[in-house]
A and B are shown apart, each in its own frame.
Chain A
C-alpha cells in the first residue's frame, strides 16, 4: 500500500496533488499569519483625523500621557461635553454608539491597540519629558481614522530609538539600554 502510494506520487497527478497540498498548507498558514496582524474591531469607528483637524490637541483627550505611565482613554463625559452640542451626534448612525453609551450610562468597550505586554513597564511621561512628540511613535493622526500602529512596537524598535537618543552620552546610554529600565 505504501509502495503504491509512493509510486502514485511520482506520476503527474500525484505531483499535482502534492503541489496543491503544499499550496493549501501555505495559504492556510499565511491566512493565519495575516489574521494575527488584523486590527481588532472597535465599538466606534473613531475618526482621529477629523478631531485632529478641528485642532484638538492629543493631550486634551489623553492627558495621562504627560502625567504618568498611561495616556488613557477619554471619559464619556469628555466626549459628550462637545458632542452634546453637535447636531450631528443626534442624527449620525456612526455616533449612535456614543449616544447610547452616554444615555445608557454604559462604558464604551474600546480595544487599545498601542499596547505593550505586561512585562514591559512603559511610561509616557518620561518620553514626553524627553521631548518626544506623540506622532513619533503613534504616526500621523491627521491621516488616520481608526488608530493603527504605524510600526510594530517591539523591543528592537524601542531599543533603536533609545540608543539613538543616548548618542555619545555614556551615562544616558547605560540608563537607556538597561534591562531594568523597562522590565521589572
Chain B
C-alpha cells in the first residue's frame, strides 16, 4: 500500500517539476532573446538606429499634398507634411496620416492574380497578358480608366493612346463626382470664356458665403483650404473674417460657420441671385443683368430664409472689402447645379474680387500643363459605360479607381463590365474591382512608388509634386508604369515607339527634364540627373510665382442667369443629401484607424448613419439607432438613424465611404453605400445630381447601435432622466 502511494506521489512531484521547468524556462533564452538580422549591405543614407526621411506625394486623394515620410531601417514609421510644399506647407489631413495603414494593410494584393486561378502568376506572364491585350485588339477596343489624380501614369497612358490610336485614358473618382468638378469648371467657362478650376482665397477674405462647399472636409484641396480658413479667422492685421454657410445639412464646415443658413435644397441659385440683387442695390449703380430677373421676396419664401437674414447677409457682402462666395458640394449636385455655380461666381464678379487677395481666381496650371484636364463627369462615365455595355471595349484597364464601388449602381457599370472581355485591374488592395477583374496586376502602394503629380488647385504656384519610394515594395507588386512600358516593348510596333523607355524612372526623368532651365523654378540644376535628384529631394518642382489667373469680370455680370428651383427625382418626402465622409472619403475604409476616427460632426465610428432632424424623428417615432429603410427611385438601403440637430426637418443626409463588399477585413460588410440610392440624374454640366433626389423613410423595427465617441447622455441629455 505504502509503496503504491509513494510511487504515485513521485509521479505527481515529477509532473509538478516538469511544470515548474516549463514555467521557468518560459523566461529562458529562447523567449528572452530575439534574432536580429543586420543589413548585408548598408543602404545609402541609412545608419543603424537612425531614421531617414524621404519627400514624396500623398496619394490618398487627388489634391497632391507633399509628404515627408520618416523611415527606420527600411520601414515607414510616420508621414508628415512637407513643410516646403506650396500646397500644404507641412500639414496633413487624417487620411494622409493614416496612409501607412494602407502601406502595411493586411489585405493588399500580394502577387499578380488571374481570376479563378488559385496560384499567383509571375510578372513575365502578367506583362505578356498586357502586351497581348494591347497587340491583339484594335486600338479603339482598348480603354483605360484611371483615378482622379493627373499624374505621370496618366501622361504615360495618354502618350501611348496618342501614338497608337487607343482611347484616351479617362479619369474618374467619386470625390470628383461629389465635388461636381465638371460643373465648377463649366460655370467658369461659361462666365469667363475659359474653363478652369476656380481658386478661392479664403484666407484673404473678410466675408465668405459658402453655398454648400464643404471646403474644410474633402472639397478640392481640404488641407490648403483649411489653411485659408485659419487665415480668415486668425486675422493678424485685419478683423476676424466671417463665414456664412448655406446648406440644408450642417457639415463640419457649416459647424465652423458664424452663420449657418439651412435653406431649402434646390433654392441655392435663387438665394445667390437674391443676395446679388440686394447687394447690388446697396452698392448702387446699374443693376447687373445677372441679378435683375430675380424676385427677392419670392426667393426668401421659397428658400425659407427670412428676408431680414437675406438683407443682412447682402449688406455684409456688399459692404465688405473682401467679400467672397464659394459654390460647391451638394448645391452643385442638383438639376440646376450649373446655374447655382454661375450665380455664385457672379456674386464674386459683383464683389469685384477677381485675382485680388481674398478673391476668386482660376487655379494655376501645373508647370508642364497647357490646359485644365478635369476628371470625367458622371455623364461622360455614362457614355463610357454604354460603350462598355455595347461591347465596344475588349480590354479595360482600371487603375487608381474602384468603379464598382465609386460609381452609382444605376449607371450600370457592373452589368456593362460583363461585356468587356478582359478587365484588368492594377489595384493595390483587394477591392471590388480587383474581385471582379479577370486579372489583377497590383501596383505598388503610393509610398513604394515613383511618380509625379500635378496639383490641380489649392496652391498659388504651379506645382508638379514629386513622388519617390520611401520603402522598397513589401510585396511582389510592380509599378503599373513599368508594366505598361514592358508590355509596350513586348507588343512592339507603335506601342514600343510610344514608350521608348527602359523603365518608369527613365520615363519620369524624361518628362521632368523638360522643366530643366525653366525660369522662376524652385530650384535649378545643371543636368537632368541632378534635376531629378533635387526633384525627389524637395518633393517636387514649382514656380516661385503666383500662377493663378484673374478671370475677366466683364462678361460675368451681363449674362442673364436663370434662378429656377432645382427639380427633384423620386416620390419621397425627404430631400436626400449624400456627402463624402470627411475621415474616410472614397478609399479610406480599409484603414482601421480611419474607421476609428470619429466623424467630425456626429462622432460616429466604423459605420454609416442616416441623419435626421429631431422633430422629424419624433413625428415618425424614430429614435437614435433605429434602423430605417431609405427608398429612392433607384434603390433602397437599410441603416441606423442618427438624430442630428442641425439638419432641415425635410432633409435626410448620409455619408459616403462605407458599404464595401470587398476591400479587406476593415471595410468589408460595414455600413452601406449611398451610391445605391442615386439614380441617373444629371445637371447641365453632366455632373451627377446626387443631391437631387427625394427619398421615403420606412421604419423596420430593428435597432443597430451606432458606435459613437460622444456621450448621448452628456451631449444630448438623453437617458439622464426627465427634464433637469
A–B contact, 8 Å CB criterion (strictly below) = yes
Residues of chain A touching chain B, judged by Cβ–Cβ distance below 8 Å, are 4-5, 8, 13-14, 17, 20-21, 24-25, 28-29, 31-33, 35-36, 38-41, 62-64, 67-78, 101-102, 105-113, 115, 124
Residues of chain B touching chain A, judged by Cβ–Cβ distance below 8 Å, are 1-2, 5-6, 9-10, 13-14, 16-18, 20-21, 23-25, 27-30, 32-42, 47-50
Contacts of A108 in B (CB 8 A): 37-38
* C-alpha gap A109/B29 in the complex (Å): 15
Contacts of B35 in A (CB 8 A): 109-111
Nearest-Cβ distance from residue A175 to partner chain B, whole angstroms: 22
Q: Are A29 and B2 in contact (CB under 8 A)?
A: no
Given contacts A107-B37, A111-B33, are A4 and B25 in contact (CB under 8 A)? no
* C-alpha gap A65/B285 in the complex (Å): 76
Which 7 pairs across A and B sit closest by C-beta, in order of nearness? A32-B24, A72-B48, A70-B49, A64-B48, A107-B37, A28-B17, A8-B2
Contacts of A63 in B (CB 8 A): 47-48
Contacts of B29 in A (CB 8 A): 35-36, 38-41
Q: Are A35 and B24 in contact (CB under 8 A)?
A: yes
Nearest-Cβ distance from residue A30 to partner chain B, whole angstroms: 9
Q: Are A35 and B48 in contact (CB under 8 A)?
A: no
**A–B pairs, 22, beta carbons within 8 Å:** A4-B1, A4-B5, A13-B2, A21-B13, A25-B20, A38-B28, A63-B47, A64-B50, A70-B48, A71-B48, A72-B48, A73-B48, A76-B39, A76-B40, A77-B42, A101-B40, A105-B40, A109-B35, A109-B37, A110-B35, A110-B36, A112-B34
Q: Are B36 and A112 in contact (CB under 8 A)?
A: yes
Nearest-Cβ distance from residue A19 to partner chain B, whole angstroms: 12
Contacts of A78 in B (CB 8 A): 42
Given contacts A28-B20, A72-B48, are A77 and B10 in contact (CB under 8 A)? no
Nearest-Cβ distance from residue B41 to partner chain A, whole angstroms: 4
Q: Are B49 and A76 in contact (CB under 8 A)?
A: no
* C-alpha gap A29/B5 in the complex (Å): 24
* C-alpha gap A109/B33 in the complex (Å): 12
Contacts of A14 in B (CB 8 A): 2, 6
Closest partner residue, chain A, to B46 (CB atom) = A75
Q: Which of A17, A31, A41, A72 contacts B49 (CB 8 A)?
A: A72
Q: Are B25 and A36 in contact (CB under 8 A)?
A: yes
Given contacts A28-B21, A63-B48, are A21 and B37 in contact (CB under 8 A)? no
* C-alpha gap A113/B34 in the complex (Å): 9
Given contacts A5-B2, A8-B2, are A25 and B13 in contact (CB under 8 A)? yes
Q: Are A76 and B2 in contact (CB under 8 A)?
A: no
Q: Are B28 and A111 in contact (CB under 8 A)?
A: no
In this complex, which of B13, B28, B40 has the most chain A Cβ atoms within 10 angstroms of its Cβ? B40
Closest partner residue, chain A, to B12 (CB atom) = A21
Nearest-Cβ distance from residue A134 to partner chain B, whole angstroms: 15
Q: Which of B25, B30, B32, B38 contacts A32 (CB 8 A)?
A: B25
Q: Are A69 and B49 in contact (CB under 8 A)?
A: yes
Q: Are B33 and A64 in contact (CB under 8 A)?
A: no
Nearest-Cβ distance from residue A40 to partner chain B, whole angstroms: 4
Nearest-Cβ distance from residue B19 to partner chain A, whole angstroms: 9
Q: Are A68 and B48 in contact (CB under 8 A)?
A: yes
Q: Are B37 and A25 in contact (CB under 8 A)?
A: no
Contacts of B16 in A (CB 8 A): 25
Contacts of A64 in B (CB 8 A): 47-50
Nearest-Cβ distance from residue A44 to partner chain B, whole angstroms: 12
* C-alpha gap A68/B28 in the complex (Å): 29
Nearest-Cβ distance from residue A80 to partner chain B, whole angstroms: 9
Contacts of A29 in B (CB 8 A): 17, 20, 24
Q: Are A110 and B38 in contact (CB under 8 A)?
A: yes
Contacts of A28 in B (CB 8 A): 17-18, 20-21
Q: Which of A24, A75, A113 contacts B17 (CB 8 A)?
A: A24
Contacts of B49 in A (CB 8 A): 64, 67-72, 124
Q: Are B10 and A33 in contact (CB under 8 A)?
A: no
* C-alpha gap A107/B33 in the complex (Å): 17
* C-alpha gap A157/B677 in the complex (Å): 67
Q: Are B33 and A113 in contact (CB under 8 A)?
A: yes
Q: Are B41 and A77 in contact (CB under 8 A)?
A: yes
Nearest-Cβ distance from residue B615 to partner chain A, whole angstroms: 50
* C-alpha gap A75/B5 in the complex (Å): 61
Closest partner residue, chain A, to B24 (CB atom) = A32
Q: Are A17 and B6 in contact (CB under 8 A)?
A: yes
Q: Are B38 and A67 in contact (CB under 8 A)?
A: no
Closest partner residue, chain B, to A62 (CB atom) = B48
Q: Are B21 and A107 in contact (CB under 8 A)?
A: no
Q: Which of B2, B25, B33 contacts A115 (CB 8 A)?
A: B33
* C-alpha gap A39/B28 in the complex (Å): 9
Q: Are A107 and B2 in contact (CB under 8 A)?
A: no
Q: Are B50 and A4 in contact (CB under 8 A)?
A: no
Q: Are A31 and B33 in contact (CB under 8 A)?
A: no
* C-alpha gap A33/B25 in the complex (Å): 7
Contacts of B36 in A (CB 8 A): 73, 109-112
Q: Are A72 and B33 in contact (CB under 8 A)?
A: no
- A-B contact sample (15 more), CB < 8 A, given A32-B21, A110-B36: A4-B1, A8-B2, A14-B6, A25-B17, A25-B20, A28-B20, A29-B24, A40-B33, A64-B49, A68-B47, A72-B49, A76-B40, A78-B42, A108-B38, A110-B38
